[in-house]
Amino acid sequence: MLKVGLTGGIGAGKSEVSRLLASYGAVLVDADKIAREVVEPGTPGLAAVVAAFGPDVLTADGTLDRPKLGSIVFSDPASLATLNGIVHPLVGARSAELEAAAGPGAVVVHDVPLLTENGLAPLYDLVVVVDASEETRLDRLVRLRGMTEAEARARMAAQATGEQRRAVADLVIDNDGPLEALEPQVRAVWDRLTERAAAGPGTAPEA
């Protein structure tokens, strides 16, 4: 089994890279998806979030009010650290369960938005970073996700810098261009991952 950590700043296109890798045969462990699951109604995770931030972060039907919580944590580093301290261990435990269920020869790609911020690079055999310029990411967040420019900049500022992500990367995918330019890069990365998986542990990727 080859354990791959995939990360990238918000708006860089990491989700599209995850989708492509899964279509090629990777076993995908999506930390964002798991993070939503561990705070669903009735979970210990949601109870811990309410205990930390108060009942105002719940909607009328008892689900987590994500926009409300986001408005709190993405403008306050201490609150963001509190939220990460609740959710991260729960995500880690569930990710380990999914990884254990994969076959021994699998390429397991962990889609981890906060890999760099939480110092998780040592957990993986390889780290792949999806990168794009600040201007490109800002445009995508405003145009495709409907954020205001201020909201987008706050989300970006709450994450690691591109330089910090690249510092922990074994492979970097540059995604400033269109999808047609991204797909060949991801296919090339997939070929290198399968070669590395076949070669066994301890084999460094070629530069």
Tell me the pLDDT tens digit for each residue of 53-78: 999 999 999 999 999 999 999 889 99
Chain centroid to CA 16? 12
> Which residue ranges form the domains of the chain, and what is each CATH number?
2-199 (3.40.50.300)
Look at the block and give the residue holding tokens 């405003």: 142
Farthest-apart Cα atoms in the chain, separation: 53
Helix, strand, or coil here: 5? strand
Q: Report which of residues 103 and 37 the model is more confident about.
A: 37
pLDDT of residue 74: 86
pLDDT of residue 204: 57
Using a CB cutoff of 8 Å and minimum separation of 24, what contacts does 184-188 make?
186/17, 186/20, 186/21, 186/24, 187/20, 187/24
Phi-psi region of 51 (alpha: psi -120 to 50; beta: other; left: phi over 0): alpha
Helix, strand, or coil here: 144? coil
pLDDT of residue 203: 56
**What average pLDDT does this structure show over 97-119?**
90
Report residue 201's pLDDT band, with 50, 70 and 90 as the boundaries: low
Residue 20 has pLDDT above 90, yes or no: yes
Q: What is the pTM of this model?
A: 0.77
Indicate the annotated binding residues for ATP.
Answer: 11-16
Residue 206 has pLDDT above 60, yes or no: no
Question: Lowest-confidence range among 1-10, 99-108, 154-163?
Answer: 99-108
Report residue 102's pLDDT band, with 50, 70 and 90 as the boundaries: confident
The closest alpha carbon to 175, from 123, 122, 205, 131, belongs to 131
| The two three-digit tokens of residue 176, written as one number | 């400033």
Indicate the annotated binding residues.
Answer: 11-16
pLDDT of residue 202: 58
The closest alpha carbon to 157, from 63, 67, 74, 68, belongs to 74
Please, where are the H alpha helices in 38-148?
Answer: 44-53, 66-73, 77-101, 134-143
Question: Lowest-confidence range among 98-112, 118-132, 133-147?
Answer: 98-112
Question: Lowest-confidence range among 12-21, 61-70, 103-112?
Answer: 103-112
Round to whole Å and give the CA distance between 15 and 23.
Answer: 12
pLDDT of residue 57: 97
pLDDT of residue 104: 81
Look at the block and give the residue holding tokens 């045969």: 25
**What average pLDDT does this structure show over 151-157?**
94
| The two three-digit tokens of residue 94, written as one number | 């569930």
Average confidence score pLDDT of the chain: 93
Residue 177 has pLDDT above 80, yes or no: yes
